[in-house]
Amino acid sequence: LKNMPDPITAKRSIWLPFMKDNLKVDEETIIIGHSSGACAAVRYAEQHKVAGIILVGAYTSDLGDSTEAASGYFSDPWQWDLAKANVDWVVLFGSTDDPFLPWKEQEMVATSLGAELHKYENRGHFMDQTFPELIKVVQEKIKQ
């Protein structure tokens, strides 16, 4: 398992090439992205075919935060249709009590991608050490 480079700003210009060149993400890969990683997963899927994406705490804007703005994920419009065309399926885990991400943004990602939405009211930003619901989804998708 490799750590992502640039973990604070999570720059698009660094993460997407790293996913392609170092992690070798391809059409058989399931990308699991949390927070900034969810943004990276969608942006990657806009340009490349992948098996599926699992998004945890996904959002659509920089939320007025300068670090988020510097990441580059929000500098151009989302290409939802391209991302949908390049994945076989999308699952999104979101929580209405996320202290960082407004529910309306999480819901917009799910709607825009036609995602299978797993909505919670008590998971915050999904920072728990375990996530059995995610493991179950991965296992189900691998069996298909």
Q: What residues act catalytically?
A: 35, 98, 125
For CA atoms 22, 86, 58, 67, the dihedral sign is: positive
The sheet that has 116-120: what strands, in order across it? 30-34, 50-56, 87-95, 116-120
Q: Is 110 exposed, middle or buried (0-12, 13-18, 19+ CB in 10 A)?
A: buried
